[in-house]
Structure 1
């Protein structure tokens, strides 16, 4: 599972907005949820995605740390994680998470390929379990028909 309980509506809203061509709203809704969902997956896999400091305070691992986590890489695969890194945290290719969070992204940019691809990548992540089930159930025959 990728969506934590209580966060379903964010993903529904983000997906519907993207299907309707409103990638500005889709990105604003979905991009913060990606980090939270990766943290949720790490917890499901048995790892606490935070650090306890000597003074007793606790700090959550950031998006970059989550994307570098071997459990997360194993859960989603190198390709998906590489794309998320390039789009969301890489300073050269995207840094979309930081740019969006601090309001640096002009409105017209949300209709450009990086934002549309970010939305599509979330759709891909959400549909992956269904695709794996379909492949396991119907196997090679379904590949030949597509």
Structure 2
């Protein structure tokens, strides 16, 4: 009988590998699919890599997709730690180095977006492109102009 996670992996319609890697002493679970330039997709708070299942198949057609369960979420360890941006960014850097990835595209959703943004600011030479989706970490004011200024 398939678990819910296995059923979601099957729904991607591409071969997906479930793996684990030790990042320092943290067992980090991740999914990978496809080949080509590496793309790391970081989920938001709460759900884990499960958030990205609908996107893994389409992305894997052109990229090597890596979807980790960020430390503290999903199938990854949940150590007693300061879960702040510095902690997550340090974990992400060590995760990428453990996978021997020196440069990557990053997509981040919500909290994953805040991690992607801070990682890009701290380690710009490791990031080729990044995409933020409903990202945290942007502050409370919008950089956008009111629609009235665009359309009169």
Fold shared per TM-score above 0.5 = no
**TM-score w.r.t. structure 1 length?**
0.24
**Structure with more helix by fraction:** 1
TM-score by length of 2: 0.23
